Chains A and B, each alone.
Chain A
Amino acid sequence: MNILKLLDKLSNDKFFSTEASRLDAIKNMANFSSNVAIAAVPLGFGALISSSAKAENSSDLKITSTTLFDDKLIEALQLALTLEYLEDEYYRIGLDTSGLISSSDRTVFMQISKHETAHVAFLKSALNSLGETPVPKPTFDFTVSGNFSPFTDYNQFLVLAQAFEDTGVRAYKGQAGNVMGNKQILQAALQIHSVEARHASQVRRMRANKGWIELNHGGNMPEATYPVYAGEENVNQAGFNTATAFGPEAGSAAYDEILSGSDAATIAGLFIV
């Protein structure tokens, strides 16, 4: 599946409904475990996956019942990979553009860039381990047809960096339910998710914002980024009013909201040619 097809599917409300053709393509657990056995998996991911495969393989009943779930799992990983491709390329170009990032800010962006590169490699190996082909890297246009100039205007570079990181936090969170059937992948996804949150906080603070999101205010952000923050003003968590004690700013900031797969894909899609 190419990236445009993936994004198209993600933008479709019926994305998470079952497709017979898709199910046919899903690896059953027998294939899955043999793939794992021969996969040359770098970076230690193989250990995670193989223990999972072993557990799943011990029960035929489980194999059947996890098939449909794997569809969502794979799509979640492909979406995550797409977002990581985007961030990785963005920071790489930024760091390679001489005169864009001041020397005092360079350390921060080198650290962030290092993590995004690692996330791309990690997610690719995860997908390979599951017997799936990682989506190829899309062609990005970070100017969005000339509407942004992040690589000549440092302020805009920071604006988009903040938008990407805050989007990443929400997007991973939105996939939690789709990956929770695979404990190893769930944990890895959580571990990436909190790194994105650390990045988001740092970039926000570099822009003289708080590290957290109060209401749906991105913090001195252009209107084009408003979809990134839509819904963040929520102060109702499982029926508990988080605004009661200290007001809606603190109540909303204490919780980051999820972003659906389709909303995350729409945001990423703006930057894909």
Chain B
Amino acid sequence: MKNSIINVSNDRASLDTSRRNFLKISGAGLALIGLTLVGCEDDDTTIIDNKVFDLGSGDVGILNYAYALEQLEADFYTKVVNNFYSGISSKEKELFTDLYHHEVIHRDFFKAAISGATSSILPTLEFHYPNVDFNNRNSVLATAKALEDTGVAAYNGAGKYITNPDYLVIAGKIVSVEARHASAIRDLINPGSGDFSGDDVIDANGLDLAKEPKDIVMVASGFIKTPFTWKEQGIQ
């Protein structure tokens, strides 16, 4: 009986933690956090202070944005390859190892590129995957599909905000690799189908998705524990 109470108590503690994180990152509406805090001043949420990182303006903001997304993808695949789902084939092992390599390389590239251009570099973010079962093939594939499609739509939507042609070309070099990943993952989920470039992502003009940073952050924030803002794009 006592044990069970203690267990419950622990559960609640962990739930509280995730709730706090959820408040921090829920939706793109980071602006709402301030309002939420007013309502729960007696909580321990005062750790949310004014030091929340802002991605910045102009090309620096875009680079930090890409860095955030690549951090997420790299983190996800690191977890996948450190704990392959049971029964994984050697072919799928190879594929996920490749994706892990590519995303880590992308992440480290942005870290180097941004550091070389400015001191306003996004810190290392913390992530969580509340609804992902890393032991389950379907769960891992579904998450990988969401992340890769999101990456493609993010780069496609961000290109127009880039002013430096060299950065634009680099983004182009990366986005097509994300699209190659997305295609492969989608075909693993539904082999031999048209899903690799499915009608859910490609419209009647033959155009892939392009999403605004605000919409991307709303989707990705489900995985991102560390709050950040991007005032230039209305994310705060």
Residues of chain A at the chain B interface (Cβ within 8 Å): 43-45, 104-105, 107-108, 110-112, 114-119, 121-122, 169, 172-173, 176-177, 180, 183, 186-188, 190-202, 205, 210-212, 237-240, 242, 245-246, 250-251, 253-258
**Contacting pair A238 B202 (CB below 8 A):** no
**Contacting pair B173 A255 (CB below 8 A):** yes
**Contacting pair B183 A201 (CB below 8 A):** yes
**Contacting pair A240 B109 (CB below 8 A):** yes
**Contacting pair B101 A201 (CB below 8 A):** no
**Contacting pair B187 A205 (CB below 8 A):** yes
**Contacting pair A122 B101 (CB below 8 A):** no
Query: Within 8 Å of chain A (Cβ to Cβ): is B159?
Result: yes
Query: Within 8 Å of chain A (Cβ to Cβ): is B157?
Result: yes
Chain B residues with Cβ below 8 Å from A237 are: 109, 170, 173
Q: How far is the CB of B102 from chain A (nearest CB, A)?
A: 4
- Per the bound structure, the CA–CA distance linking A197 and B156 in Å amounts to 13
Query: Within 8 Å of chain A (Cβ to Cβ): is B180?
Result: yes
**Contacting pair B160 A186 (CB below 8 A):** yes
- Per the bound structure, the CA–CA distance linking A44 and B206 in Å amounts to 12
**Contacting pair A122 B207 (CB below 8 A):** yes
Partner of A122 from the list B116, B179, B193, B206 (CB cut-off 8 Å) is B206
**Contacting pair B98 A194 (CB below 8 A):** no
For A118, give the chain B residue with the smallest CB separation: B206
Q: How far is the CB of A143 from chain B (nearest CB, A)?
A: 27
**Contacting pair B166 A238 (CB below 8 A):** yes
Query: Within 8 Å of chain A (Cβ to Cβ): is B196?
Result: yes
**Contacting pair A108 B192 (CB below 8 A):** yes
Q: How far is the CB of B205 from chain A (nearest CB, A)?
A: 5
Residues of chain B at the chain A interface (Cβ within 8 Å): 95, 98, 101-102, 104-106, 108-109, 112-113, 116, 152, 155-157, 159-160, 162, 165-166, 168-170, 172-184, 187, 192-194, 196-198, 202, 204-210
**Contacting pair B175 A193 (CB below 8 A):** yes
Whether A115 contacts B197 in the complex (CB less than 8 A), given A173-B176, A201-B179, comes out as yes
For B188, give the chain A residue with the smallest CB separation: A205
Partner of B172 from the list A45, A104, A202, A258 (CB cut-off 8 Å) is A258
Chain B residues with Cβ below 8 Å from A254 are: 101-102, 105-106, 174, 177
Chain B residues with Cβ below 8 Å from A114 are: 206
**Contacting pair A198 B180 (CB below 8 A):** yes
Chain B residues with Cβ below 8 Å from A112 are: 197
> Which DSSP category, helix, strand, loop or mixed, fits chain B's interface?
helix
**Contacting pair A192 B207 (CB below 8 A):** yes
Chain A residues with Cβ below 8 Å from B197 are: 111-112, 115, 195, 198-199, 202
Q: How far is the CB of B195 from chain A (nearest CB, A)?
A: 9
How many A-B residue pairs lie within 8 Å, measured between CB atoms? 189
Given contacts A43-B204, A193-B176, A253-B98, 19 further A-B contacts (CB under 8 A): A118-B206, A122-B205, A122-B206, A187-B157, A187-B160, A190-B159, A190-B210, A194-B175, A199-B197, A201-B196, A202-B196, A211-B180, A237-B170, A238-B166, A240-B112, A246-B104, A253-B177, A254-B174, A256-B172
Q: Which of A105, A200, A250 has the most CB of B within 10 A?
A: A250
> Which DSSP category, helix, strand, loop or mixed, fits chain A's interface?
helix
Whether A210 contacts B98 in the complex (CB less than 8 A), given A198-B182, A200-B180, comes out as yes
Partner of B159 from the list A115, A187, A245, A253 (CB cut-off 8 Å) is A187
Q: What are 23 A-B pairs with beta-carbon distances under 8 A?
A: A45-B205, A111-B196, A118-B204, A173-B176, A176-B169, A190-B159, A191-B210, A197-B177, A197-B179, A197-B180, A198-B196, A198-B197, A200-B183, A201-B180, A211-B184, A212-B177, A238-B109, A250-B98, A253-B102, A254-B101, A254-B102, A256-B172, A258-B169
- Per the bound structure, the CA–CA distance linking A254 and B178 in Å amounts to 9
- Per the bound structure, the CA–CA distance linking A258 and B168 in Å amounts to 12
Q: How far is the CB of B54 from chain A (nearest CB, A)?
A: 24
- Per the bound structure, the CA–CA distance linking A3 and B204 in Å amounts to 27
- Per the bound structure, the CA–CA distance linking A93 and B40 in Å amounts to 66
Partner of A194 from the list B187, B194, B208 (CB cut-off 8 Å) is B208
Chain A residues with Cβ below 8 Å from B174 are: 254-255
**Contacting pair B206 A173 (CB below 8 A):** no
Whether A198 contacts B179 in the complex (CB less than 8 A), given A115-B202, A258-B169, comes out as yes
Q: How far is the CB of A179 from chain B (nearest CB, A)?
A: 10
